[in-house]
Structure 1
Amino acid sequence: MKMKMATTALALLVASLGGSIATAAPADAAPARTAVWVGSPIEGTWPTSDGCSGSGARYPSDDCSLPTAHHTYQWGMPYTGDWGIDIGASAGQAVTLYAAPQQGGRSIGAKVERVTLACSARSGESYEQTRRRGGNTVVVGLYEGGTRIGWVTYAHVDPYVSQGQSINRWNTTIGTVGRYSANSCWTGPHLHVEMTNETNYSCYNRGWRPGQQMYRSNFIGFLGGAYASGTRQACP
């Protein structure tokens, strides 16, 4: 069974940044769904270990960007992210979807589930004012037939795609890395990325070193399958 536990601290964090906590869980554990390989959407750097000592090493952390501790959100989907990272990036870079079935012969589709604000609105603030502080979040669902395997979330993006749009799973430009006014929601050019399974848990590539250079389509993690027994775990 996939359980998502909410805490008071996490609820406060998410409320301040425009997400929401997922509390629902499937009534019964479902069999593992097709494993999908997901690649890096940009050229950038895997998170450093800056801010990851002491309390920063514990989830949910704003300061530590490593997948073991970095905050994740729900953004209107059934569950919060299984793991998330901030990839160091330059503003204006194309954000690209790369996804492929781990097992040959599988047909995997992709659809834009949601395009929403990355930051929560301040009192009296218009949509455009909020967007200028942190851009948008784009949630892409990956499917086998009509069955959703999971989703990849990209935040602090100026989107090129629309909610409900079916897109190609390989080499589709989702948008670009934005440049916004510095605030508590956005602290400089980077791309927040999350992955979440519909059943079981997504996992991240254990081979990355803090600060290591990443190139487009480099493997970052699996959706589907049954590689992890819980959140924020590395792939075996």
Structure 2
Amino acid sequence: MKLRSARSAVTAVAATAVLLLASTTNETSASTSSGIQPLAAPTVAVYPPIQNASIWDRFGQTSPASHHRVFSNWGYVNDWSVDIYQNPGATVVSPFGSKTSNGSTVTVRVVTMRPGCATGNLADGGWRIGLEASDNATGTVVGRADVMHVDQKPDSITVGATVGPWTRLGQTGRFRYSSCYQVNGNTGAHIHLEVINRTKYSCYINRPAGTGLGDETSIGHVGTLNSGPQQPC
């Protein structure tokens, strides 16, 4: 399995191009007309939290533009959320890239570990694992992600643990039908992902419902300067 650091080179080129574009005299008018702010440096790419193949918004009901945001970090509701689907048994991993857009290494540590549903019963929806990404060059916390509906969590995944891009956090699973988890078949098994910036707002990459994803498919960024939540990059 190739490391996610390989993908950061593409991310860095893309971020540099956006920064160069933002320095032109058209910056103000472009930002105003689109409602989206330019990327800040450094950013960290967000990837699917499922190893190998997965499916973005499989049934067209969980678009990041409108999908419910359940969790909060730093006293704020997370910026955006999406459901990413794969049948039970798929390996769940950190969604953060291993390098920033300017090439610095990224450290990801576990900051939240609790049952995902309000009942506190794992049978109702599995684990919620909260992860925090920091830029090693500056020590700056860039963003966080909540990875929800994780089954079969290893004992080594605890609050304070440092995880790599391919560290196994658990697997996708099926849980009993409840107000917290309304899934009837294996094709509905999914990870509910929520993302937030430390400052300003992160963004997602807009994709059609049912789009197939791979390990190297970027689905968003943290560290961006978007003007509000639930905005595309």
Q: TM-score under structure 2 normalisation?
A: 0.72
Question: What's the counterpart of residue 41 of structure 1?
Answer: 49
Map residues 1-236 of structure 1 onto 2, 5 A cutoff: 34-42=42-50, 43-48=53-58, 50=60, 64-74=61-71, 77-97=74-94, 98-121=96-119, 127=120, 130-145=121-136, 146-158=139-151, 159-160=153-154, 161-168=157-164, 170-188=165-183, 189-206=189-206, 208-226=207-225, 228-235=226-233
- 1:17 is aligned to none
Partner SS for 1:217: coil
Quote the sequence identity (%): 28
The runs of 4+ residues in structure 1 deviating greater than 4 Å are none
What 5-or-longer segments of structure 2 have no aligned partner? 1-39, 184-188
Cα RMSD of the aligned pairs, angstroms, is: 2.0
| In 2: Cα distance, 1:177 partner to 1:48 partner | 15
> What letter is aligned with 1:209?
P
Q: Deviations over 1:143-163 (max 9, x none)?
A: 124321111111000223111
Q: Secondary structure at the match of 2:168?
A: strand
Distance 2:146 2:41 in 1: 19
Cα distance in 2 between the residues matched to 1:144 and 1:164: 17
Secondary structure of the 2:124 match is helix
One-letter amino acid of the counterpart of residue 221, structure 2: F
Tell me if the contact between 2:132 and 2:145 (Cα under 8 Å) persists in the aligned partners. yes
Structure 1, unaligned runs of 5 or more: 1-31, 51-63, 122-126
Task: Quickly say closer, same or farther: Cα 1:137–1:75, change in 2 above 3 A.
Answer: farther
**2: CA distance, partners of 1:104 / 1:75:** 28
**TM-score, structure 1 length as denominator?**
0.71
Counterpart amino acid of residue 105 in structure 1: G
- Alpha carbons 2:84, 2:190 under 8 Å: kept: yes
CA contact (8 A) 2:65 2:230 kept: yes
Residue 195 (structure 1) shift: 0.9
Higher helix proportion (structure 1 or 2): 2
Distance 2:55 2:145 in 1: 18
